[in-house]
Structure 1
Amino acid sequence: MDSAIDRIMQTYDLLMNRTADASAEARAKVTAYVAKLFEAGEKDTHRLTVCGLTYLRELDGSNDPVKAGFTGL
């Protein structure tokens, strides 16, 4: 689980230019989220990484399909 969180934060820090405080806050949130997934039975590091990155991108609004132009039509 720790390796997935480290990989999530390394990748996310490359995508987003943020302060150290914002990065620490994101790490705390994604750690709680990944721990919940891990406790629910997800053990695959790659899946945990993808889910964690998706979670952080949803939190900051950069994963909004409407903003990306996907209307569902």
Structure 2
Amino acid sequence: MQTAIDRIMHTYDMMVNRTQAASSEARGKVTDYITSLFDGGEKDPHRLTVYGLTYLRELDGSNDPVKAGFTGL
């Protein structure tokens, strides 16, 4: 589980430029999220990594298609 969290944070830090405090806050949130998935039975570190990255992108709004410029027209 810790390997997946480290991989998530390493990848996310390359994607987003933010302060150390914001990075620490994101690590805490993703750790809680990954722990809940792990406790729920998900043991595959690759899947946990994908879920964690998706979770962080949803938190910061970068998964929002409207913010990305997609209007559906």
Shorter-chain-normalised TM-score: which range? over 0.9
Q: Gapped runs of 5+ residues in structure 2? A: none
CA root-mean-square deviation: 1.3
Indicate the residue corresponding to 2:38 in structure 1: 38
Given the superposition, is the C-alpha separation of residues 41 and 13 from structure 1 closer, same or farther in structure 2, using an over 3 Å criterion?
A: same
Separation (CA, whole Å) in 2 of partners of 1:65 and 1:2? 31
TM-score after normalising by structure 2: 0.92
Separation (CA, whole Å) in 2 of partners of 1:49 and 1:62? 17
Percent identical residues = 71
Q: Gapped runs of 5+ residues in structure 1? A: none
SS of equivalent residue, structure 2 residue 64 = coil
Indicate the residue corresponding to 2:21 in structure 1: 21
Indicate the residue corresponding to 2:52 in structure 1: 52
Separation (CA, whole Å) in 1 of partners of 2:9 and 2:40? 22
Deviates more, 1:34-43 or 1:58-67: 58-67
- After TM superposition, the runs of 4+ consecutive aligned structure 1 residues lying more than 4 A away are none
TM-score after normalising by structure 1: 0.92
Aligned residues: 72
Shift of 1:67: 2.7
